[in-house]
Amino acid sequence: MPACESLGLYSVGFYSDGRQLAPKGWLTGASLDWGPFYTKVADQVKSNTWKPVAYTAGMEGTEGYIKLSSFGKSVPIAVQKEVTAKEKLLQSGKFVVFRGPMKDRDGKERIASGKDLDIKQLSEMNWFVPGVKGSLH
């Protein structure tokens, strides 16, 4: 983030709020607060109810583990309000980002019309949407 800011670029973070690292170039990002999750798992271990699972989650139903980071100074108030409203819809499960029909950048249908990509499919996503350049290799 500081490297981006030093080049006059903006940054979006993941895992933690990076506003202090790039006060001029910070936009927002996803913050992860795993403390409550680890406490829940530790309590399950102590009560002998814990079961090993691969844990994946979106913003919905995560009890605040995943949330939007703070906004940077350059993000207009109107945009902040719009993004915050979408965050609430994501948390409630009422807003789905990956809903079909959706094709990959090569024109192959990846999500059928009216179908949603669930969290497991999203975690295994190995294709790009139109407009994304790059390679997975």
> Using one digit for the tens of pLDDT, what is the confidence trace for 6-53?
888 999 988 888 888 888 889 999 888 888 888 989 999 999 999 998
On whether both 32 and 70 belong to a single domain, the answer is yes
Looking at the structure, do residues 39 and 56 belong to the same domain, yes or no? yes
Contacts 24+ apart (CB under 8 A), 51-57: 56/119, 56/120, 56/123, 57/119
CA distances to 8, 15, 101 from 71, rounded to whole Å, are 17, 15, 32
Residues 43 and 11 in one domain: yes
Q: Are 52 and 84 part of one and the same domain?
A: yes
| pLDDT tier, 61 (very low <50, low <70, confident <90, very high otherwise) | low
Q: What are phi and psi of 44, to 5 degrees?
A: -65, -40
More confident residue, 128 or 37: 128
Encoded tokens for 54: 């691969």
Cα 55 from Cα 49, distance rounded (Å): 16
Residue 110 dihedral angles phi and psi, to the nearest 5°: -110, -30
Higher-confidence position of 132 and 1: 132
Peptide bond between residue 101 and the one before it cis (omega within 30 degrees of 0): yes
Same-domain status, 38 and 61: yes
Same domain, 90 and 31: yes
Q: State how many domains the chain has.
A: 2
pTM to 2 decimals?
A: 0.70
Q: Could you tell me if 41 and 80 lie in one domain?
A: yes
pLDDT, residue 41, reads 92
Say if residue 15 is in the same domain as residue 82.
yes
Q: Which domain holds residue 26?
A: 2-95
Q: Verify that 76 and 114 share a domain, yes or no.
A: no
Q: What pLDDT, on the 0 to 100 scale, is given for residue 62?
A: 58
**Domain shared by 8 and 74, yes or no:** yes
Q: What is the pLDDT of residues 70-127, one digit of tens each?
A: 999 999 999 999 999 998 888 888 888 889 999 999 999 999 999 998 878 888 889 9
Asked whether residue 19 falls in the same domain as residue 76, the answer is: yes
9 and 46, same domain (yes or no): yes
- For residues 47 and 41, the answer to whether their CB atoms sit within 8 Å is no
Whether the CB-CB separation of 28 and 16 falls below 8 Å is answered with no
H/E stretch holding 123:
helix 119-123
Query: What pLDDT score was predicted for residue 135?
Result: 87
Counting Cβ atoms within 10 Å, is residue 32 exposed (0-12), middle (13-18) or buried (19+)? middle
For residues 61-74, average pLDDT = 82
